[in-house]
Amino acid sequence: MAAARVLRGGRCCRRRRLLSSSAGGRPTVERGERQESAGLGFSPPAHSRNDWIGPPDKHSNLRPVIFYVPPEESPLERRLREARQEAQACDQRFWARHNRAFCQEKEEFIYSRLKAKGLEMRDETGKKATLNAEEMADFYKDFLSKNFRKHMQYNRDWYKRNFTITFLMAQVALARALRWLRWKKKNVGN
């Protein structure tokens, strides 16, 4: 797990899969129970059979999802849920780290520019001094070019994950539809 944390955001998914498969440390969830959601400060009501989506995370701006584990979850459905959980964790890690880096570097940039201008971080009234958009433009350009390769890698991973999850959703939906049709046929026959 420590190794996973050290990894760069873009490659995290591939390694995480390797780690979990090698260590066999996939978090086991009891059928019919909710995935562990203590860290999110919310538990969905017990009677609900759907996933729940929360407010945006303050670091990553992504909305966390608490997945419902049905008691009769099929292997395909389990694969889908785990893919979604993994994707969520990956995205959360990438964006939280990325946004924190952005804020930190922005502060450093503002500080260095203010110092160069001979100003303090806070002016006479105690308000935090800021630079205008034109002065910040250099920082934005720099930050974007510095993180370009990281973004390229993340993009590739994101597209792959998105397609995989959507395809799995399609398979699950099809399987459920066929199950329902078989049940209907059986009932009509009776």
Partner 1 sequence: MSAARRCSPPRALAGLFVWRLKNTGIRQIPCQFVQLCHVANDRLITFQYFNFLKRMYVTQCNKDLSQRAKPKSDSVASPFRELQQLDQEKKVIHKIRPISPVHQPLPEASISNELREMKSAAETEDSVAAVRVEAKGDRQWKEMKLRLDDLPGILARLSKIKLTALVVSTASAGFAMAPVPFDLTCFVLASLGTGLASCAANSINQFFEVPFDSNMNRTKNRPLVRGQISPLLAVCFAASCGVPGIALLTLGVNPLTGALGAFNIFLYTCCYTPMKRMSIANTWVGAVVGAIPPVMGWTAATGSLDAGALLLGGILYSWQFPHFNALSWGLREDYSRGGYCMMSVTHPGLCRRVALRHCLALIGLSAVAPVLDITTWTFPIISLPINLYISYLGFRFYRDADRRSSRKLFFCSLWHLPMLLLVMFTCKKSFLEKEDKGDLLGESHGRAMEIRLP
- Contact set with partner 1 (CB under 8 A): 42-45, 48, 50-56, 60-63, 65-66, 91, 95, 98-99, 102, 133-134, 136-137, 139-141, 143-145, 147-148, 151-152, 154-155, 158-159, 162, 165-166, 169-170, 173
DSSP-assigned beta bridge partners for residue 82 = none
Nearer to partner 1, 18 or 152 (CB): 152
* HSE of 158, CA atoms in CB hemisphere, 13 A: 13
Return the number of other C-beta atoms located less than 10 Å from residue 32's C-beta.
Answer: 12
Whole-number minimum distance, CB 152 to partner 1, in Å? 7
Strand locations in 50-172 (E): 52-53, 65-66
Whole-number minimum distance, CB 5 to partner 1, in Å? 20
Q: How far is it, in rounded angstroms, from Cα 148 to Cα 33?
A: 41
Return the number of other C-beta atoms located less than 10 Å from residue 152's C-beta.
Answer: 11
Output the six-digit token pair for 116.
């160069």
Output the six-digit token pair for 26.
């996939």
Whole-number minimum distance, CB 135 to partner 1, in Å? 12
Q: How far is it, in rounded angstroms, from Cα 33 to Cα 25?
A: 19
Q: Which residue has the tokens 């995935």?
A: 35
Whole-number minimum distance, CB 106 to partner 1, in Å? 9
Cβ neighbours of residue 122 closer than 8 Å, sequence gap 6 or more: 128, 129
Whole-number minimum distance, CB 40 to partner 1, in Å? 8
Q: How far is it, in rounded angstroms, from Cα 132 to Cα 124?
A: 18
Whole-number minimum distance, CB 43 to partner 1, in Å? 7
